[in-house]
Each structure stands twice: as C-alpha cells, then as structure tokens.
Amino acid sequence: MVHITTRLAAKNVRVVLRLKEDHLTRKTGRVLRIRAKGKIHFFCARIPPALAGGGIASSFLDIRSYRVYTVFVKMRQRFRFYPTPAQASRLAQVFGSCRWAYNTMLRIRTDAYAKGERINYVRSSAIFTELRHATETKWLEEVSSVPTQQSLRHLQVAFQSFFDKRGKYPSFKKKRGKQAAEYTVSGFKYKDGNLSVSQLGKLDVRWSRKFASSPTTVTITKSPAGRYYVTLVLDEVVEHLPKANAEVGIDLGINRLATLSTGERIPNPQHLKSKLKKLARLQRIMSRRKKGSGRKERARIAVAKMQEYIADSRNDYLNKVTTDLVRRFDLIATEDLNVRGMVKNHRLARSISDASFGYFVRMLEYKCEWYGKELVKIDRFFPSSKRCFDCGHIVESLSLSIREWTCPKCGVIHDRDENAAHNILAVGQTVSAQGGRVRRKETSVSKRGVRRTVNQLEHV
C-alpha cells in the first residue's frame, strides 16, 4: 500500500492518500504526478517514519470517497528564547536591516503606484539587490540575505492583500514596534532539540512543548516589551478526536462570552477592563516623561508589558475554552458575526474587541478542521434571538436591553441568549444534514485574488 502526503488546495493541510493495494514504500523525497477523479494532483512523497512503518493504520484518505481520518497540519508553535548580549546586538542589526528593506521598497513602490506604475516582487528584488551592493548601503551585506529577502516577500503579500481589497494599504514599520526576521531552511539548522541560526549560532530556546517534525521556517521576533520569541512552522500529525455524540449551538455575547444550547454559560473575564485603570496609570506616567530619556523608555516598556500580559491572558483563555468545546462536541454551530461592522458602534467597540469574537470563531475553525469535528456558521441575518424556539414565532422587535421575553403566541418565557443558542443549533443541524451552507453565496474571485503563502509570490 503506497502512502503519499499532499497539501489540500485552499487549505493549509496535508493529508495521506490510499492509492492502491501495493507494497508499503519507504522511499522519501520523490515527486509524483497522480491522476485522481480526472484531475492531475501534484504530490510530494515525504513519508513520516510512523506511517512508513505502518504505525497509523487508519490515517488514510480514500481517493474514491475523500474521507479524511488523520491529517498532517501545517502549524506554528512559538517558544521563548533568551539571546546572549552578542546575539541581541546581532539581532538588532538584522531587525534594522529587515525594517530598512521593507520601508525602502514600500516608499519606492508607493512612488511608482502614485505614477500609475506597479512594481512586482521580481522587480523589487532586483532593485533591492542593487541597493545592497551600493557603496552607501554596504552595511546590508553584513547580515544574512535570507531575512531581508523574506521582508520583500511580506511586502508583496501586503500589496496583494490591498489590491484584492482584503486589507489596507501597507504601512511603514516602526523601530519601537514588533520586530521580526524570518529564516527559511537555508538560514537555520535544527537537530535533536538544538536550533542554530545563520550568524547567530545556537539559540537558548525554552522548549515548552514537544513536536515530531522538523521546522520549515523559523521566525525570530522581539516584542515591544523586549521579549524574544522563536516561531517554528511545522508539519505535524494530528489525530482526529473520538466521537462525543453531542452537538451544541453557541450564542456569543459581551456579559457572557458564550451561551450554549445545553444551558451552560461561559463567563467573559474582560481582560482589558480588569486592567484598564492600571494601564491608564502607566500610560499617564509615560506621557509625562521627557522624550528620548531613559525614564521614558522604561515607562514605555512597562506599558508594553501590561499590554502583552492582557493579550496573553485573552489568548490563553480562548484557547482553553475552544479546545474544551471541540473535545466535547462533534457539531458546533455559531453565528457568522460581522465583527468589523459591530466595532463601529463606539459604545460597544471596546467591549467587543476585548471579547475577541473573531478570534474565538477562527480558533474553532482550525481546531475543528484539525480534530475531525464540524463547524457550521449560520447567516448573520438569521433572527436567532427574536425567533421562539418552541413554536417558531418571530417577534417584530427585540432591543438589546431585553434579556428575557415571553412569546406572544405560545406564552413560553425565554432567556434571550439561550433561546438564540437553541435556534442556532437547530439551523446548524439542518445545514449539516443537507450538506449545504447557510451563508449567502459569495461572489467568486479570480486566481489573482486567491490568498497565497509568502513563498508562492515570487513571480506576482
């Protein structure tokens, strides 16, 4: 039986295919073209040891049915590391070179864009090569060319998102903001838990979790608070979770982060609101400090540490909540909220951003995809709160201040959020059974509008 790993189109997921009854291959590094269902697929036969040895007998995708049981997932894992003084000095030089490359090419491409011209990645790379060898910018040759080249690719991604109307126009990177340098496989070496980066040497990384695959990309970042992190891009085997034989509908809110159709209420810790007074005091202290002084810098770091603490607390809480939901339920139904439109309400914008509805749903999306669960997002215009779950009657108006209401037709008293969760689950079950979707049909986009990874944009 031949096993081939591949990456699904439009999904950053690698799966395993069962091709035909044959012998179990142990060869690696081959590239094959295989015709399946009348379409040519491009597969890279990189066989993990566990699969080559037959360790995961059920980790197959049958070409005839396209049923996935176990997938190879491209994921990012971040670890804290502590550079030596020499490494910190070298990293400051690398960060500065990457920032200069990004900002310089952004200025050049902006001037060309104002004249009606468009400079693609290939042209910008050629221009930067000339600048790199110029006498005035000879210092660029002191750092590795890999991270500066990746900065140009990131700039291309930013422009592509802008032209496809998926983002704003690219902005200049700041010295006091988040600093990053990305290395591809030619710029680092990983073996037996030791990570060495070009011109930096071995990094003192705190490996807080285990992983089986070798990283394909390494990104070194420095937060505004002065903390260093290394982010690895990995191809990991993720086994599907066992079936829980349970389904749930979720209604998101501000007072309660989520109300489940089971009656459970998930509290909203309001991470920003609980630290808002302390954060405001630190910001007032920073505003009183003299610009350019050491006290100003220390006050800035104190503010950055508090903001990073709030973000980390929110991220940790949402991760725990979403993981628990994915483990407990096979089908999760939620609303497709227009968060961008919701934050335009200046009275609720801070609370909505603090709750992080969009991040919550995105976590559910990729975790359901990893672990073989189903996520259904119903239409944002479906009247889940105004519809009586018992009789189906829909009231004409229901203000946000009303948390409980009585159905005028059947007389049942409803909790607003719990009733909405029941309706969301009912619609989600219907969509799942029919194999369709409730979201309105979106307009198709051209191939130019398809989102691609950084390293796929060399010739755009």
Question: Is residue 457's pLDDT more than 80?
Answer: no
Same domain, 108 and 202: yes
Question: Is residue 11's pLDDT more than 60?
Answer: no
The rounded mean pLDDT for the chain is: 81
More confident site: 104 or 27:
104
Same domain, 62 and 89: no
Same domain, 16 and 148: no
Is residue 307 domain-resident? no
CA distances from 324 to 197, 257, 260, 371 (A): 37, 14, 13, 12
Structure confidence at residue 28 as a pLDDT band (50, 70, 90)? very low
Is residue 299 domain-resident? no
Contact between 452 and 156 (Cβ < 8 Å): no
Averaging pLDDT over each range in 30-39, 61-70, 94-103, 446-455, which range is the top one?
94-103
Q: What is the DSSP string of 39-85?
A: EEEEEEE---HHHHTT--TT--EETTT--BSEEEEEEEEEEEB---H
Contact between 209 and 77 (Cβ < 8 Å): yes
Same domain, 441 and 334: yes
Task: Give me the mean pLDDT over the 92-121 stretch.
Answer: 93
pLDDT value, residue 71:
54
Is residue 288 domain-resident? no
Domain stops at, among 46, 68, 90: 68
Tokens of 157: 């991604």
376: CB partners within 8 A, 6+ apart? 331, 332, 333, 334, 427, 428, 431, 432, 437, 438
pLDDT value, residue 24:
30
Is residue 308 domain-resident? no
Same domain, 360 and 421: yes
CATH at 361: 3.30.420
Q: Which of 330, 335, 354, 418 is catalytic?
A: 335
Q: What is the DSSP string of 400-431?
A: TT--EEE-TTT--EEEHHHHHHHHHHHHHHHH
251 in active site:
yes
Q: What is the pLDDT of residues 281-333, one digit of tens each?
A: 999 999 999 999 999 999 999 999 999 999 999 999 999 999 999 999 999 99
How many other CB atoms sit within 10 Å of the CB of residue 265? 17
196: CB partners within 8 A, 6+ apart? 188, 189, 190, 202, 203
How is residue 455 annotated by DSSP? Answer: G
Same domain, 217 and 356: no
Contact between 367 and 323 (Cβ < 8 Å): yes
Same domain, 223 and 249: no
User: Going by DSSP bridges, is the β-strand pair 61-62/13-18 parallel, antiparallel, or unpaired?
Assistant: parallel
Same domain, 61 and 182: no
How many other CB atoms sit within 10 Å of the CB of residue 443? 4
Same domain, 333 and 455: yes
Task: Give me the mean pLDDT over the 383-388 stretch.
Answer: 88
Is residue 52 domain-resident? yes
Same domain, 31 and 125: no
How many domains does the chain fold into?
Answer: 3
Task: Give me the mean pLDDT over the 422-427 stretch.
Answer: 91
Is residue 389 domain-resident? yes
More confident site: 283 or 60:
283
Same domain, 59 and 109: no
Q: Where are any strands of DSSP class E within 128-185? A: 179-183
pLDDT value, residue 19:
39
Domain stops at, among 186, 215, 234: 234
How many other CB atoms sit within 10 Å of the CB of residue 17? 18
Structure confidence at residue 30 as a pLDDT band (50, 70, 90)? very low
Is residue 122 domain-resident? yes
Question: Is residue 342's pLDDT more than 80?
Answer: yes
Tokens of 147: 């991270």
Tokens of 24: 């179990």
% the chain with pLDDT above 90:
53
Domain stops at, among 179, 208, 234: 234
Q: Which of 251, 330, 369, 418 is catalytic?
A: 251
Same domain, 329 and 424: yes
- For residue 256, report the phi and psi dihedrals to the nearest 5 degrees: -115, 130
Task: Give me the mean pLDDT over the 356-375 stretch.
Answer: 92
Is residue 293 domain-resident? no
The least confident of 24-33, 107-116, 343-352 is 24-33
Tokens of 278: 């302390």
Domain holding 205, by residue range, is 80-234
